[in-house]
Amino acid sequence: PLGKHLLARHLPVSPSIAKMLSTLRSRGASSSMTGFVTLQARALRSQPLRVGARAVAAASAVPRQAEQQEAPARSGAAGVLGLATAGLVGRSGLRRAAAARPRAQCRSVAAVATPITSSAEVGSKLHGWTCERVEELSELKCTGLLWRHDKTGAELLSVEQPFEENKTFGVVFRTPPESSNGIAHVLEHSVLCGSRKYPVKEPFTELLKGSMNTFLNAMTFPDRTCYPVASCNLQDFYNLVDVYLDAVLHPRALSDPKVLAQEGWHYEIEEKDQPLSFKGVVFNEMKGVYSNPDAVQGRTLLTNLLPDTPYGVDSGGDPKEIPDLTFDYFKGFHERFYHPSNARFWFYGDDPPDRRLELLDEFLRDFERNEVTSAIKKQPLWDTPRKVEHDFAVGKDEDLSKKSMCAVSWVLSEDKPDLEHSLALSVMDYCLMGTPGAPLRKALTDSGLGSRVIGGGLYEGLVQPTFSVGLKDIKDEDAQAVEELVIKTLEQVASEGFEAEAVEAALARIEFQNRELNTGGFPRGLALMFSAVSNWNYDKDPFEGLRFDAPLRALREKLVDRKEPLLEGILKDTLLNNAHRLTVTSKPSVEEGPRLETAEKERLEAHRKTLSDEQIQHLIEETKALKKIQETPDTPEALSVVPRLEISDIPKETQKIPTEIGQLGSAEVLRHPLLTSGVVYVDVAFNLNTVPTDLLPLLPLFCRGLREMGTQKSDFVGLQRRIDLSTGGISASPFISSKRNSDEPAAFLVMRGKAMDAKIESLLDLMAEIASEVSWENKDRFVQLAKEAQAGGRSQLLSSGHIIASGRLGRQTTVAGWASEQLSGLTQFKAVGALLQRAENDWPSVESQLRQLQECIFNAACVVNLTADSDALAKIDGHVNAFLARLPQQSKPITNWKPALTTANEGIIVPSQVNYVGKGANLYKEGYTLHGSSIVTSRLLGTTWLWDKVRVSGGAYGGFCSFDNRSGDFKYLSYRDPNLEKTLEAYDGTAEFLREELQMNADLLAKSIIGTMGDVDKYQLPDTKGYNAMLRHLLGETDAMRQETRDQILGTTADDIRRFASALEPVRNGSVCVVGGEASVKDAAEALGLALSSPLAADA
């Protein structure tokens, strides 16, 4: 729960990203994903993975609008516990080409039957390395070799997996911080700003422009910094590795203080009569993080729970302390910790194992062994519990009566547990917290004290395991009641014991996740790396984090066969009888925001008073010099050293997913024969065009209620257990999108489920039961779901304003955009508030509407999408027919949504120190006709003009644009932005940049095309392939249409890119939506004609 700092340099635009980041923040994380400036900004979606009893985060980068749509995850997963901060780059090998083989059908590793072999044995010496261990990883059907570098002592875990084309590499340095000046985070950003071998300003952006990578990122955890990359193309992979290695070992930042000034912090002043200000990417990013109450609560919890360790400070950086970071300390930190003797390297995939050793030695041979003191200090356990209170900022008009938070947390032991004990902790955590019906989560939810459970439960990613749980939106005086309820519930569970069925369900869920090894779009190799590092970083056995069979069997025998009270004993030892307990109460304060702003202003004024006129003039010159560097592009000669593929390496033919289209009764059935390790993936799409307009805002809660309200056969607790025992999860979510050349949207409710082929009957039986027998009678349960949704909406307004702004712009231009905003964003937030009041005061009317929705949506005239091995598909029809027979056979009349689409400029005021600035228009309505070059150009703008103007020069955490080639919507968006009008000026200068300033040469054009194709051909696991094939079918997008777009992308010319400037001209007069702090939004309101609203105000 207290885990990692994800301090991203680029931002996502998908609501699922906000959901994932919200989850991580609830675990005390701050987030930083750097590699998200792709085509339409990449969507990061969490997919849990349990490997060796360790939960690791899986994030998937998926292009939002090219050829793929983000697939909503099948629910039932155990929670996100992994990732961290971001920086990034990638590149290796000086050769340019090496033929890119066409993407093979993604194989499921477990499905391949072949002997497991290794390339070396213990004691083997090769390329300056000595093999110390060889381990057969039977669960993963591969071999792992642990090597030590003879000269430096660096370690390498080389996993040889000949059936995994998505090759992964990572290097991890232990980087324990000594203060909250953000050194680890700032350095993670800075090393990616040029290096000895690649002396350009930002090799990272060059890689973003022209790599086929499947992952490009960097992360700062509270005690380590990770630099991972992945690619399916071997030469591209080597390129990425080479750039990363040169970046971390020989960064330009050590000799150029302006890198620290740009990425970390600097004083900014342009005229003598102006006040001083702080600027810097990390500085502004962390101001945004510290504007989020959830993040502030998580940080307070972590620093106070483990105060005598590196976790007692914020590795991401506190804005109050970041300006204390000096260049000398910056250099010294790199010298101490970014040394091969402090490095742990990772490779995984089908690349040649010997080349891994050779490639690394080419870099490491220049270093000598160094004794690095970086071991992570452990927290001595307390003998008495402690309490901490702190304030967080809220708006002056907010209702403060129920805005506090309370979390109760423990450090569970003095050391990391062994594998079996770790797995037992995971089972205990799942039984206590893993489902809505789990006793601890249910007790807190049912108490009515707060709106949403927070804390996240078990986290094992630090040097000691922790556990945290609490409630959000409570009364100040109820903090003690929350703590007492947590203790009372734990005592009750310890006394009565865990229910046998709940334990079996937890074991079944964990085993399914391990055997499926489904990490979504996130490379499996990197998920495994994070699992190994959770041990390796603390000098424990890295292989332990990659195993699960033996400990799972042993644990099952104890818990199920012998019915030992093992979990109850662990609960007593680690929680009830453990005095190392911290209760954190977070209280809202209207004074906190102004206090922080005043303190920063006074600090700047005090510093200015110490400066002479000459010193002020020097700062003015420094400001100008930094801006000149930022705005001066690298020369073509300098950029040419950054290796890339050639366009000729890109397959000319679009990837086709095998699809068999048939009919079962009134249902259309799509079958995708793919290797899936015996798992069957089922998607059922029900048309939403029968839903009346006034019921649309109810859909998100309706979908959640399907899974969490129970059925006529089982209450929601029993239903979840049945799902866990027989399946890998079931979910339901709306999908709404524009269609090309149509004003009518595609709108579906998609139910998704997965199970082993032997359990497909149970899966479809449960899906039919949920659709046809859901129970809507439980008013209290629905009210709680609505409260949780309202709390989530508030968090989104504070932390993901770019998503809110994007939705508000989209609702003005198309029916699909309008409908989508009804289901998410500001309109949904307001609707949930009204619905909550109605549910509490007039429940029959709400229950009636829920039943009406059920009748409108579910019927046998649906689309059934099946992805599985050929053998499983051959015997599934009978089960599908039984499923369809339980659905109503008659569909409801179609309802045409006819909203009035009007344009407006909006200013949405929230208590925040940063802004989220959006501007957009619909290009199709302005006469533009789609050409594939627009996708290339949109991507190019995100890595050139917007990157330089909004992020590098403007200091925002991110700036990007998106072009939805289905609807025609083009949007500019910024994230954690210290500016407002200046950012809008940058947006308005885009067309001129394309016409006059863009130095388009053959190299930049090729990079732009290659990078775009990397997004288009994004790596996909079988279930995602099947899902995306279904979406294309529903949207009427044929392989011929995709091939035409592909041809246009590959054939893009410099003239095509310049011509797109004309298409962007209408956006200068487009709509504006800004989410931000009161002062900045109100200051710009008159000039921009903003209609102001304060959705968090008490009277909103």
What whole-number distance in Å separates Cα of residue 222 and Cα of residue 225?
8
Catalytic annotation present for 263: yes
What whole-number distance in Å separates Cα of residue 339 and Cα of residue 364?
9
Select from 1010, 350, 1016 the least CA-distant residue to 655.
1016
What whole-number distance in Å separates Cα of residue 903 and Cα of residue 924?
16
Catalytic annotation present for 155: no
Give the DSSP H or E segment for 700.
helix 699-708
- 441, amino acid identity: R
Structure tokens at 106: 């993604």
Q: What is the DSSP letter of 953?
A: I
Task: Pick the catalytic residue from 155, 188, 769, 821.
Answer: 188
**H-type alpha helices, 557-655:** 566-571, 592-609, 613-631, 636-639
Which residues lie across from 227 on neighbouring strands?
171
Residues in the chain: 1100
Task: Pick the catalytic residue from 67, 160, 165, 263.
Answer: 263
Question: Does residue 71 contact residue 1024 with C-beta atoms inside 8 Å?
Answer: yes
Select from 94, 33, 415 the least CA-distant residue to 228.
33
What whole-number distance in Å separates Cα of residue 490 and Cα of residue 581?
14
Helix (H, G, I), strand (E, B) or coil at 276: coil
Select from 1018, 1019, 1034 the least CA-distant residue to 661.
1034
Q: Alpha carbon of 678 to those of 757, 778, 824, 881: distances in Å?
A: 6, 37, 35, 21
Q: Where are the beta strands (DSSP E) in 835-989?
A: 863-868, 906-909, 916-922, 958-963, 969-975
Q: How many CB atoms lie within 10 A of CB 802?
A: 30
Question: Does residue 142 contact residue 117 with C-beta atoms inside 8 Å?
Answer: no
Which residues lie across from 459 on neighbouring strands?
466
Q: Interior CA angle at 767 toward 763 and 772, to 5°? A: 150
- 780, amino acid identity: D
What whole-number distance in Å separates Cα of residue 828 and Cα of residue 823?
5
Q: Could you tell me the sign of the dihedral formed by the alpha carbons of 678, 679, 683, 684, in that order?
A: positive
Question: Does residue 185 contact residue 5 with C-beta atoms inside 8 Å?
Answer: yes
- 231, amino acid identity: S
Give the DSSP H or E segment for 972.
strand 969-975
Helix (H, G, I), strand (E, B) or coil at 52: coil
Residue with the two structure tokens 């885009």: 990
What whole-number distance in Å separates Cα of residue 249 and Cα of residue 151?
16
What whole-number distance in Å separates Cα of residue 53 and Cα of residue 458?
12
Question: Does residue 622 contact residue 266 with C-beta atoms inside 8 Å?
Answer: yes
Select from 949, 947, 959 the least CA-distant residue to 914.
959
Catalytic residue IDs: 188, 263
